[in-house]
Each structure stands twice: as structure tokens, then as C-alpha cells.
Amino acid sequence: MRNTLGNAVSVTLFGESHGKAIGAVIDGLGAGIEVNEDFISHQLSLRRPSDALSTPRREQDPYIIESGVFQGRTTGTPICILIPNEDTRSADYGAMAVTARPGHADYTGYVKYRGFGDYRGGGHFSGRITAGLVAAGAIAIDALRKKGIFIGSHIAQCGGISDRAFSDYAEEINILNEKQFAVLDDAMGEEMKKAILSARSEGDSVGGVIETAVIGMPAGIGEPWFDTVEGLLSHGLFSIPAIKGVEFGSGFDISGMKGSQANDCFRTENGKVVTKTNHNGGINGGITNSMPIVFRCAVKPTPTIGKEQETVNLAEMENTTIKGAGRHDPCIVHRARVVVDSVTALVLCDLLAQKFGTDWLAE
């Protein structure tokens, strides 16, 4: 059983949704990297539920850095970040001990852990665990920014409503990273919110698509075949609860193009090799080509809903029905985008450390 992502730079997650605490351990970051605790708090606030679009559970995430940071900088030893759980109502989940929610990990977790897992609030499978990823990712994001590498995501689609596409990566990434509901077109964002609230009023939920851009990555990062940039990013992204699809560049649409359309022609610009288009999402042969890395994640609707659904009582092995109890999100897309940014940063730090060494981010 493994809960660790990465090689040269790794992150390990621990805790359960209704346990005493959750958190993350980051190992492999070189010594001397500045740790901005205000920025960690800011990133956690982007994941935190705050209104009717999200769960009524209100965790303030007063994180504690237990080790690995001294006088505001990394020491080079493992960084342990602890986030206490405060607003728990475990009694809401009594019926779910042996009654699997459709679309959730209740059944697979019950089988894997032989019924000994903590089922409250989804236990270790809960989206609550992503707070540790965001706290760890904040350190990685800040370190990458100081090396001229910037990451930003917007809600490309939610509840059947679409946002406009990126037009100016550098400017728009900065704007998005300050928004609680990260869209490029605020009018479309309001329509998305209406769709989320409408689903909530029906006891239902909606999903969507998150589009991410990374600018400033140097060319030559990644490996062919088994450690491609797409492969390693996808490995991390599919670890995020509810992510069911990842595509890079033009994604599945590239299959309908001719080679003359899909190929990104090269040219020089200010002494640098660039491509005229970016259908391949900044990656060729599994290796970065210095163009923006662009990808999209499909996020499924939240599985716990207020509608009655068919399921199985696992203790009695009898067919039954279940209706979601507890406090749950009608949509997690707007909260998940900072998790996507965080995982992206951690994977890129790992790739860069493998190429340039673990001290490179501190230089």
C-alpha cells in the first residue's frame, strides 16, 4: 500500500477525513528554498469551501509545519505539514459503514482494506485529503515561480457551460491564481454557478473540465517511453479524486486533423526556438519543447448526492438503496483546480530535480 508520489522530490499523504488530522510529507527538496507561509494559507483558501456552491463543512485549515523548515527556509530534510480536522460530524456516516455509495470508493476500499478502513466522510479516499497536497504544492509553486515557471488553471467547462480559451497565458495565469472561482469570462462563471446551485436544489451534482497551462518550462525535461512528461503528470493528476480523463494540447481532437494541421511548425523568435501552433501541448516525444504545457482534466460529478440510488449492503450482501447523508459538494470543479495546480507543481519539481539536481530550485 503506497501513498507516495515522485522520485527525486516526493510527497506522501496521510490521514482520514474525520481523523484527528491530515497532512503531507515532502522529501527531496534541497536546502535554502524560501517557504512563504502566507502563500500556503492563500492556496489553502482557494480549496476551502466558502459558499452554497460547496459543502457546508467549514475547515479553516490552520496548518502546522512540524519539520524541515527553519527560519523561513527549507533545511533539506523531510517537511511534514499537519492540518487538524476540526469540523467533523462522523455520526452522519453510520449508514455508510457497509452500504456503498455508487460512484464512490466505498466498495473498492471495503474490499482492499477488508472492512477495516475508516469509512467516515470517505476516510483516506476523501477530497479532504487534498488539503495536504495543496499545502505541499504551495511550496513547490512558489519555488517554481522564482525560477520563472508559472502554473494556472481555469474552469473550462462546468454544468454544460463553457469558459473562453486562454489568450494571454502570462497575464491570465496571474489573474486566475487570485480568483476563488477561476474563470476567464466572469459572465460564463455566473452561469456555471447557476448550474451548480440548480443541481444542488435537485439533490444532484455536476462535473466539468479544468484546463491548465504551464509557462516557462525549459526544453529538454522528461524522458522518452516510460517517464514522459505526459505520463508522469497524468500519474499525479489521476490521483486526485474525481479526475477521470486527462488530455494534452489538442487532445482527442488531434486525431481528426491531418499531419499538416497537427504538426507544430518550428521557427526562431528572439534567438529561441518556438512553435507556430501548440497542438502537442508543449511536449514532443515525452520531452518539453519550451512552449506552454497545456492539458485538460475531466472531473466527474460528486458521487454523494441527495437522490435515492440503488446499491448493496456489503455486510448482508443484499440489494438496497441509499440516499446521501452528511455534508457534500454539488460540484468540486472550482475547488479542485488549485489541487491540479499543486500536483502539477510537485511533478514538475520532481522532473526538474532529476535533470538539474535537488539544489537547483534553491539556486
CATH number for the domain harbouring residue 288: 3.60.150.10
Residues of the chain with pLDDT > 70, as a percent, come to 95
Question: Tell me: the pLDDT tens digits for 191-245?
Answer: 999 999 999 999 999 999 999 999 999 999 999 999 999 999 999 999 999 999 9
Mean residue pLDDT of the chain comes to 93
CB atoms within 10 A of CB 232: 22
pLDDT: is 48 or 90 the higher one?
48
Amino acid at 269: E
Average pLDDT over residues 132-137: 97
Which residues of 114-197 form beta strands (DSSP E)?
150-158, 161-162
- DSSP-derived 3-state class of residue 230: helix
> Considering its fold, how many domains does the chain have in total?
1
**Cβ distance 148 to 142 under 8 Å?**
no
Rounded to whole angstroms, the Cα distance separating 215 from 289 reads 11
- 288: phi > 0 → left, psi -120 to 50 → alpha, else beta; which? beta
Question: Tell me: the pLDDT tens digits for 242-277?
Answer: 999 999 999 999 999 999 999 999 999 999 999 999
Q: Which three cell numbers stand for residue 242?
A: 474525481
**What integer pLDDT is reported at residue 292 of this predicted model?**
98
Amino acid at 270: N
**Cβ distance 106 to 116 under 8 Å?**
no
Average pLDDT over residues 351-358: 96
CA count, 13 A, side-chain hemisphere, 101: 27
**What integer pLDDT is reported at residue 1 of this predicted model?**
62
Predicted confidence band of residue 88 (pLDDT cuts 50, 70, 90): low
**What residues make up the domain containing 358?**
4-362
Dihedral sign (CA 277, 334, 351, 135): positive
CB atoms within 10 A of CB 335: 23
